[in-house]
Structures are given as structure tokens and as C-alpha cells.
Structure 1
Amino acid sequence: MWILLSVALGFLLDLCFGDPVWLPHPVVLIGKSISRLEKFLRQKFPQTPAGETKAGVILAVCIPLCSLLLSGGILLLAYHISFWLWFVLHTFWSYQILAARCLEQESRKVYRFLAAGDLSGARTQLSYLVGRETSQLSAEEVTKACVETVAENTSDGVTAPLFYLLLGGVPLGFCYKAINTLDSMVGYRNAKYLFFGRASAKTDDAVNWLPARICGVLLTVSAFLLGLDGKGAWRIFRRDRNNHLSPNSAQTESAAAGALGIQLGGTHVYFGEVVEKPTIGNADRPAEPEDIPRTNGMMLAASGLSLLGFGLLRLVVVLLLR
């Protein structure tokens, strides 16, 4: 019961304050740890497919495990000092693990540049959010890329963290964030990370499998609630939810594409390499800047539904186990 209350308060704190730049963030520490351990492992293992694969497995195991044990140990120590110290720390860390407000704020910056007709500024702002090359994107392509990243990160930044927070508290939440951060840093299919990042990418696929599919359904429900094309969201979700190189990304992107009546996905350039991807949705109309706040609305609604659904499920399980 206390974990549910703590996570709910953390969710509200995230909606209110987002991620202030002056506030030290644990994910930054996780990222620095990944970089240092990667450098160490590359020095210790041969630069062969087998050597890089072994090093990558060690990285994919050590970072999440250390994140879980360290946060769990600190929370246990806090609990022995004072229950309320534990509660405050657990709530604060729950807040830092979630990213709904940050996602809304960063995507809205892209929208504001587009609405003002500043394509160059929109491209630059988008480059902070996506891995693809943005310098040659049209205004419509910038809009689509922003919609895609909001839809995908509704799961990665909110639904999945809530799922693991309510399943195992902050330690499991940080374990998830470590896995997700590993994927974002080393989980690429390029020459540098094809073997080294494979374990991290596969682990991320596994832990996001269920949350991504739940999130796709919740985005569809959100489309109905917000007066968007809920039937289209459900139809495209069912048809195109596997139209991606990742087993999870299209689960949410398909619901967003269907709700908006636009086509997402397709071939883009990532780190100088052309990556061919299937399209998602129907091009019933061109994407427009207003699709970004519409997607943000679905993201926020799905986030609230996630907290409500997972929270009720945890409450029922706790009551049944008493």
C-alpha cells in the first residue's frame, strides 16, 4: 500500500515539476557508469565478434544488477533509520524515474519552432530527442519524427517504469531504467555496437515486451477519450503493430498513427547509415504541427490510465495475499 502511494505521489511530482536541469539525476550516473565500464571491457576483451559479445553480456548484466542492489541497499538503510525517510526517498526516486512531463516539454519545444515557421530550430531541437539525422528533414518529417518519439517513449518513459515500480518498487524501477539506458547508448545495429550492444538491446526488447503492448492499448483508449480516431487507432494498432525493426516500438507508434490518421515510420538516416523500415499507418492526410500536442495529450492520458490500472492490480494482489 505504501509503495502504491509513494509511486502515485512520484507520478504527481513528475507532472508538476518534470526534470529540472539543476537537479542531479540518477540516470546520468547510470550513463556515466555505462561509458566507463564499456571502456574497461573493450580494453580487456579482444575486438572480435565473440569477444565483443562476451563483453556486452557482462555490461548488460552488471549495470542493471548494480542499479537494483545499490538503490535497494540505500532504501533498506533509510528504512532502518526511519520509515518516513524511506518513504520520502522512495517517492523522490519514483518521481525521477518517470518522464511524462519532460517528454511533453521537450516535444513541445519542437512544436513551438514549427508553429513559428522556424524549421531550422525545429530540426535542431528534434536532434536532441531522436537518433536519426535531422538536418535535411522537411517540416512534415520533423512532425512525424516527434510524434514517433512521443508515442514510443510513452512506454519507455512512463508506462514501463510505472509497471516495474509497482511490481518491485524503486529498485526494480532503477533496474529497468538501467536496461533502457543501456539500449539507448549501446543498442545500435552499427559496426561499433553490432556485437557489443546485442545483449543490451535484446534485454531491453524483453523487459519492454509486455509494457509496450499494454501501452498501445492504453493509447487507443486515450484516443477515444480525447475525441480522436479511436477506431482508427485500434485498426492500425492491430494491423501495423509489428511494422518495425524493434518488436516493441510500433506497438505504440501504430496506435498514434491510427488515432491521427497519418503515416509514420519509413526509411531514415541514422549516424550516416540508411536504415530501411516499414511504414506504419495510412497517409490519410499530411502530418501537421498540431499532431504533436495531440500526441502529448494521448501520452498524458495513457500515463494516467497506466497508474490507475497497474495501481488497482497491485492493490488487488496485495489484498488477496493478506
Structure 2
Amino acid sequence: MFKMYYFLGLLALAAGYGLDMVIGDPRFLWHPIRAIGWLITITEKFLRKLFPKTDKGEFIAGIFLVIIVTILSTVFPLALIFIAYKISIWLGFILETIMCYQILATKALKDESMKVYEALNKEGLDAGRKAVSMIVGRDTENLSKEGVIKATVETIAENTADGIIAPMLYLAIAGPACGFFYKSVNTMDSMVGYKNDKYMYFGRVAAKLDDVLNFFPARIAGWLMIFSSRLLGLNYKNAKKIFLRDRFNHASPNSAQTESVMAGALGVELAGDAVYFGKVVKKKTIGDKLRPIVLSDIKRANALLYMSSAVSLLVFMSIKCLIGGFVFHIIPF
């Protein structure tokens, strides 16, 4: 019986990926990640009232935030899948497929980045700045056209890891419950993981845990993107060179892993100084400026995103099949 559930989980991951590629994230559909965001918001308000407004108090409150949000985000989908499979194996499979689909975000990332492309191409710089402000955390009102394109390409590169390949890896490891555990931490980091007065201590544990959970996936994503760039006919040799040279050119231990591959594959320079909340933040550059970055690089970045997601799915499913085949040969369940 366990063997059947194991391989149904593989099929659910593949089917969920297919749904993501076809449907994406329609705004009219309810999404569980928004529920996780709501949970984070109300839990933060409760904990801030409960704990003293000191550095230590906020740090401890942040620990409880991580515990509460991760437990609820993991246990609830696990219970739903367990109940669904108890009712019907097909109901369980359908629910697992839907959850896998909801955790992945390949088409959504492409769609949002292409909104920037279309805005710049058809409406001009101001429209491009407005569109890119929806997908980045930096200030965008003074970005040049090149700056808007760079910000978009960087977002595609970073989210190829933590929006697609990392959650896909956790889904392959232990199904939707593990995937939602990862997404809960990733969502907390995006909401409270800032190094400002409000979240310096409160969001520290969430930010550090996100770094830990992304450590291996980001590096795996880098190598898979290098291989994918070769399949696309991009400059994979330069992608590997820049990856090995610049993958630590970021305050985060993980963000530059995939940004460096993207910069090398496209032959452009990414990163550099950026403005956040009115303050200039000094950053190292990533990649060599072999040529100026151009609007069509958004499309090239998305091509690498799609190829990397497909390659990742095939690699993770193949490894899980091999492991499952070996385990079930030794220990028939």
C-alpha cells in the first residue's frame, strides 16, 4: 500500500507541474499561500501584544511565530491528504495534485515578468517602473530602462530557485506537507525577514531558517540552470564560470547562486547598488558586461526558467523513482 502512495505522489507532482504550466495563478482562484500570509499577519499581531517590545522579547516572539506558522502550515495539509486518501484513493490523488500545483509558480513568475516586458515595450518607462514594482522589493520610481530590465531578470533568476526548484525538491522529498512547510518559511522571510527597525529581531529566526532551507536547493538549482542553459544554446561555459566566481556576491548566501548563472548565460552584468525605502544599499555586481542588457533578455531569462523547471522535474522524479525502486526491492511494503 505504501508503495502505491509513494508512486502516486510522484504522479501528483508531475500532474501538479503540468497544471501550473497551463493554468498558472489566476487571480480569481483562492490560493493557500495567501492563507499562510494571513496566518503570519494575525500571529504577528498577537505575539507583538504578548511579548515585551524589547530586542529579546521580539526575538523570542519571532521564534514562536516560526513554530506556530510552520506547524499549522504543515499539519493542516497533511491531515487533509490523509483524510482524502482514507475516503478514496482518487480523491487523495486529486487533492495531492492540486496542492502540488498550488506550491509551484513557474507560469505565474513568467506572466508577472512579461507584464514588465509588455509595459516597457508598449507604454514606456513609467509603466515599466510600475509593473516591476509589483515583483521586487526595491524602490523603482527612479530606475532607468536598463535598471527595470535588470531588476526583472534578477527576480526571474532568484525565484527560479526559491519559487520553483526548491519547492519542487521538497515536494519530491516528502509531498505537499513538506512543500507547504517550505513555503511557510519562505513566505515568512518575504514578510518579516527585513533588516529594519521593525523586523531586525522579530524576523531574524524566519530569515535564518529560510537561508538554511534554501542552502542546498539554491546550489542544486545553479547547476541545473547551467545544464539547462546548454540545452537552450545559451553561453553555458560562461554561466559556469560566473557561477563559480560570483555566486557569493550577495548578502544572502543563496540569492546569487542562480543570479550568477543567469548573468553568465546571458552575458550581462546584474546586481549592483539598489535603493530600498529611500536608502542606497551598496551591492557587488554579478557577471561581466559582455554586452548591454536589453528588453529581449526578459524573454531569454524566462526561457531558461522554463527549461530549468522541466529539467528539475525530470531529475527529481528520476532520483525518487530510483530510490523507491531500490527501497521497495529490499523491503517490499
Question: Normalised by the size of structure 2, how large is the TM-score?
Answer: 0.95
Per-residue CA shift, 1:24-44, capped at 9, x if unaligned? 000000000000000111111
Task: Give the structure 2 partner of residue 147 of structure 1.
Answer: 153
Give the structure 1 partner of residue 121 of structure 2: 115
Deviation readout 1:80-107 (Å, 9 max, x if unpaired): 1111111000001100110000000000
SS at match of 1:115: helix
Q: CA deviation at 1:117?
A: 5.4
1:274 Cα deviation after fit: 2.3
The residue aligned with 2:271 is 265
Q: Which amino acid aligns with 1:220?
A: I
1:184-223 correspondence runs (5 A): 184-223=190-229
Look up the SS of the partner of 1:128 in the other structure.
coil
1:158-210 CA-to-partner distances (Å, cap 9, x unmatched) read 10111000101010011111011000000011111111100000000000111
Residue matched to 1:178: 184
Name the SS of the counterpart of 1:269 in structure 2: strand
* 1:234 aligned partner, one-letter code: K
Deviations, residues 11-32 of structure 1 (Å, cap 9, x unaligned): 0000001001111000000000
Q: Is 1:275 equivalent to 2:281 in the alignment? A: yes
Structure 1 counterpart of 2:208, one-letter code: K
CA distance in 2: counterparts of 1:233 and 1:318, whole angstroms: 33
Amino acid at match of 1:76: F
1:302 is the counterpart of 2:311: no
* 1:34 and 2:40 correspond: yes
Q: 1:156 aligns with which of 162, 166, 173?
A: 162
Which residue of the other structure, out of 250, 257, 278, is the alignment partner of 2:256? 250
SS in 1 for 2:280: strand
Structure 1 equivalent of residue 232 of structure 2 = 226
Q: CA deviation at 1:116?
A: 2.4
Of stretches 216-225 and 133-142 in structure 1, the one that deviates more from structure 2 is 216-225
> 1:138 aligns to what?
144
**What's 1:238 paired with?**
244
**What SS does the corresponding residue of 1:319 show, helix, strand or coil?**
helix
Question: What letter matches 1:33 in structure 2?
Answer: L
Q: Report the residue type matching 1:317 in the other structure.
A: I
Per-residue CA deviation, residues 118-167 of structure 1 (Å, 9 max, x unaligned), is 11111101001000000000000000000000000001111011100010
SS of the equivalent of 2:142 reads coil
User: CA RMSD for the aligned pairs?
Assistant: 0.8
SS at match of 1:19: coil
Aligned residue identity for 2:118? R
Structure 1 residues 20 and 117, CA gap change in structure 2 (3 angstroms): closer
Structure 1 gap ranges (5+): none
Q: Which deviates the most, 179-188 or 215-224? A: 215-224
CA distance in 1, matches of 2:293, 2:70: 38
Gap regions ≥5 residues in structure 2: 1-6, 329-333
SS of alignment partner, residue 275 of structure 2: strand
Q: Which residue of structure 2 aligns with residue 14 of structure 1?
A: 20
Report how far residue 272 of structure 1 moved: 2.4
- Where 1:274 maps in the other structure, the secondary structure is strand
Matched, 1:167 2:167: no
Aligned equivalents of 2:111, 2:189: Cα separation in 1: 23
- Tell me if 1:97 matches 2:142: no
Aligned-partner residue type, residue 298 of structure 1: L
| Residues 1:53 and 2:59 are matched in the alignment | yes
Match of 1:64 among 67, 70, 80: 70
CA distance in 1, matches of 2:277, 2:213: 26
Q: Distance in 1 between matches of 2:278 and 2:40?
A: 24
